[in-house]
């Protein structure tokens, strides 16, 4: 049997696994075989909108985007293998973590989706962090809920179900109000021993609910927590029609617990063991470090979440990473077009990213702030992208690009310094996301920023959707007693190829010089927010 024939047979007999991830700028569906190889994929581009002061996506766009990504994947299966996709072994849904999707008892959305990107919950975040003795970031679902309570928003009294984007889609496909423990840990603090919401903190929050006169109970409106591998329902007939309006996809397919993009990033980089970490760099940038021991205290810059298996993780999350880089690259592309140049987008990005490595390690005195939105790590509720230079700075294309790539890592370094002081140790730091697509360039800049080697696997380009498909495949293996850590190490990544880069001493020193100026000029960024 040829490889092509074998793959066609696996598709026909349903020995495949489907992962769909809803990222900030793209919805992507990936189908893998039993050996975790990608068979087909489909994607749909989208953008969030700032409406009435909130970053949001319309739920209609969520569903249409899912259908488009799936339809493109199914078309690729038909074209490449001559098979109609009617079933898979399991399906997994992942999405951007956090945010606020509140529904009433009839399943009606009570207020437009409020995404992780919003920085409108400062009062709630501060009050809950103090009350719990545990950092509650602004983007967490419970911060959004409490802020709505503080604002006395009329919809709060009608809440019957509160979830994240992945939890919402899983609910629409299966009818089950559940969530993976990793995604759930970004809604409300989770106890890694009981693998449930922290009971003491839930009771404390319920006191606030009662004081304000609401009739619901927090633990009733939150989705039920499930670890990786646990049964999470099956695709209903309505769910199958929603995902595939053509009617070809069959109902009854098992779904694994829905997860957040942080969890799928850990899976996609084999970073679920203690002393492993990964950095995901795209629209936002975040580092996840699996902890050996608790931190000495709570920090506003550090989230405490979990792996998809429920193990504790320290997370440094920054709202801004590549969006400002993208804007500058589009500008340079316009200039090239005006001069009559012909190019494709991939060549434009690769050329300008490569130019960054020709820049001086300290960016020649150029400085950039990539704050398209607020940045909680540096205490800013709003952002204003800035590009600064002294008259004496070396204002070249190479230094300009290096400054923007370096800026993308700067806020992350501020948070990581806290974990270094806490003596959190790593054996490996894995990288994935769009920032690392240009070979070795993003790795070099990130290594200089973190002062540690950064490894990128050949599978890193597949990212979260592939990681979600792997979690779907793990659901069948978990029944045999194999842990997620064992499954990834023994079955998925045993022969994986990777590239590791350690920045030179000069590059690391250059980043540190950049950071000295960056921290001093945060006052300029704050002034820009206040005055512009």
Tell me, yes or no, whether 168 lies in a domain: no
Separation between Cα atoms, residue 313 and residue 110, nearest integer Å: 32
Whether 145 is in a domain gets the answer no
Cα separation, 490 vs 254, whole angstroms = 24
Where are the extended beta strands (E) located within 337-436?
Answer: 366-369, 386-389, 428-432
In a domain, 237, yes or no: no
The domain of 396 spans 270-459+502-532
Look at residue 356 and tell me if it is in a domain.
yes
CA atoms within 13 A on the CB side of 58: 6
Do the domain assignments include residue 369? yes
Residue 55 resides in a domain: no
Separation of first and last alpha carbons in the chain: 65
CA geometry: angle at 280 spanning 326 and 347, to 5°? 35
Write out the two tokens for 510: 């250059």
- The three-state DSSP-derived secondary structure of 303-353 is EEEECCCCCEEEEEEECCCCHHHHHHHHHHHHHHHHCCCCCCHHHHHHHHH
Q: What sign does the CA torsion over 110, 111, 114, 119 have? A: negative
Number of neighbouring beta carbons within 10 Å of residue 160: 16
Is residue 319 assigned to a domain? yes
314 within 8 A of 302, measured Cβ to Cβ: yes
Q: How is residue 213 annotated by DSSP?
A: T
Residues of the chain with pLDDT under 50: none
> Could you say which DSSP state residue 250 is in?
P
Instruction: Classify residue 84: in a domain, yes or no.
Output: no
Asked if residues 48 and 117 have their Cβ atoms less than 8 Å apart, the reply is: yes
Token pair of 263 as six digits: 């969890």
Taking each helix axis as running N to C, give the angle between helix 165-174 and helix 59-81, from 0 to 180 degrees, rounded to the nearest 10. 70
Q: How far is CA 290 from CA 183, 188, 266, 330, in A?
A: 15, 19, 10, 37
CATH number of the domain encompassing residue 416: 3.30.420.40
> How far apart (Å, rounded) are the C-alpha atoms in residues 162 and 217?
11
**What Rg do the C-alpha atoms of the chain give, in angstroms?**
23
- Count of Cβ atoms closer than 10 Å to residue 302 Cβ: 22
Q: Report the pLDDT value the prediction gives residue 143, as an integer from 0 to 100.
A: 98
d(CA 93, CA 165): 9
User: CA dist 436 to 12, 368, 454, 483, 502, Å?
Assistant: 35, 20, 10, 29, 14
pLDDT tens digit string along 23-42?
999 999 999 999 999 999 99
347 Rama class: left (phi>0) / alpha (psi -120 to 50) / beta:
alpha
For 277, the token pair is: 């970490």
Our count of domains for the chain comes to: 1
Q: Is 215 exposed, middle or buried (0-12, 13-18, 19+ CB in 10 A)?
A: exposed
276: enclosing H helix or E strand: strand 276-281
- Tell me how long the chain is: 532
CA distances from 218 to 141, 184, 282, 388, 393 (A): 12, 13, 33, 47, 55
List the alpha helices (DSSP H) in 99-190: 122-132, 141-150, 165-174, 181-184
Q: Supply the pLDDT for residue 434.
A: 85
Residue listed under structure tokens 């790593």: 426
pLDDT tens per residue, range 484-522: 999 999 999 988 888 999 999 999 999 999 999 999 999
């Amino acid at each position: 049997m040829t490889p092509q024939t074998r793959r066609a047979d696996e598709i026909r007999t349903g020995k495949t696994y489907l992962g769909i991830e809803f990222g900030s700028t793209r919805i992507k569906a990936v189908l893998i075989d039993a050996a975790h190889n990608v068979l087909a994929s489909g994607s749909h581009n989208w953008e969030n909108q700032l409406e009435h002061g909130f970053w949001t996506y319309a739920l209609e766009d969520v569903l249409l985007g899912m259908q488009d990504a799936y339809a493109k994947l199914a078309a690729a299966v038909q074209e490449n293998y001559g098979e109609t996709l009617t079933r898979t072994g399991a399906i997994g849904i992942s999405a951007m973590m956090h945010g606020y999707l509140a529904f009433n008892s009839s399943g009606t959305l009570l207020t437009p989706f409020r995404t992780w990107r919003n920085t409108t919950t400062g009062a709630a975040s501060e009050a809950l962090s103090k009350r719990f003795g545990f950092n509650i970031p602004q983007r967490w679902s419970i911060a959004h809920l409490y802020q709505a309570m503080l604002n006395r928003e009329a919809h709060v009294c009608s809440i019957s179900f509160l979830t994240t984007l992945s939890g919402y889609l899983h609910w629409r496909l299966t009818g089950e109000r559940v969530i993976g423990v990793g995604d759930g840990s970004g809604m409300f603090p989770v106890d890694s021993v009981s693998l449930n919401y922290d009971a003491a903190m839930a009771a404390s929050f319920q006191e606030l609910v009662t004081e304000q006169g609401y009739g619901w109970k927090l633990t009733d409106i939150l989705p039920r927590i499930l670890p990786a591998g646990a049964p999470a329902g099956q695709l209903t007939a309505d769910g199958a029609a929603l995902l595939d309006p053509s009617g070809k996809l069959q109902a009854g397919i098992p779904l694994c617990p829905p997860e957040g993009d942080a969890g799928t990033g850990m899976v996609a980089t084999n970073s679920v063991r203690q002393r492993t970490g990964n950095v995901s760099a795209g629209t936002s940038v975040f580092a996840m470090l699996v902890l050996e021991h608790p931190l000495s205290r709570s920090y506003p810059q550090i989230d405490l979440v979990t792996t998809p298996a429920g193990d504790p993780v320290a997370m440094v999350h920054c709202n801004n990473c590549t969006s400002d880089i993208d804007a500058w690259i589009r500008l340079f592309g316009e200039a090239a077009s005006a001069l009559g140049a012909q190019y494709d987008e991939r060549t434009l990005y690769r050329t300008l990213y490569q130019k960054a490595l020709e820049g001086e390690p300290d960016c020649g005195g150029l400085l950039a702030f990539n704050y398209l939105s607020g940045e909680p790590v540096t205490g800013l509720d709003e952002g204003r992208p800035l590009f600064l230079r002294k008259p004496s700075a070396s204002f070249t294309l190479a230094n300009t690009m290096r400054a923007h790539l370096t800026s993308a890592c700067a806020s992350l370094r501020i948070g990581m310094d806290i974990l270094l002081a806490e003596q959190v140790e790593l054996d490996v730091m894995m990288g994935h996301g769009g920032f690392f697509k240009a070979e070795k360039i993003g790795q070099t800049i990130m290594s200089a920023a973190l002062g540690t080697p950064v490894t990128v696997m050949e599978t890193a380009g597949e990212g979260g959707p592939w990681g979600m498909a792997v979690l779907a495949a793990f659901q069948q293996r978990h029944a045999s007693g194999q842990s997620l850590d064992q499954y990834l190490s023994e079955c998925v990544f045993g022969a994986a190829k990777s590239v590791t880069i350690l920045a030179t001493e000069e590059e690391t020193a250059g980043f540190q010089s950049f950071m000295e100026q960056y921290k001093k000029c945060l006052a300029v960024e704050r002034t820009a927010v206040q005055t512009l």
